Amino acid sequence: MKKTLQLRIEGMHCEGCVRRVAQALNKLEGVHVHSVEVGSAAVVLDSARVSPQQVAAAVNGLGFSARVER
């Protein structure tokens, strides 16, 4: 099932951060990146292939602090 996921991301300050987050999200199978801006991201995910926690973990692995907004 596909659903839209909004992430609040702390620690992003520049376009370089935006690119890094977008690249990390694009590498996740089952994720389509809708937008990435300083401080947030929106993706469409296939919940049968990837969980919201895995999406947030990919961003956190870059040194940022991501949380799923409900």
pLDDT at 47: 93
Q: From residue 60, how far is each of 1, 2, 25, 27 by CA, in Å?
A: 24, 22, 11, 14
pLDDT at 67: 96
- Partnered with residue 62 across adjacent β-strands are none
- CATH architecture for segment(s) 2-69: 2-Layer Sandwich (3.30)
Q: What is the block-wise mean pLDDT of the chain (70 residues), using blocks of 10 residues?
A: 96 97 97 97 96 97 94
* pTM for the structure as a whole: 0.93
pLDDT at 22: 98
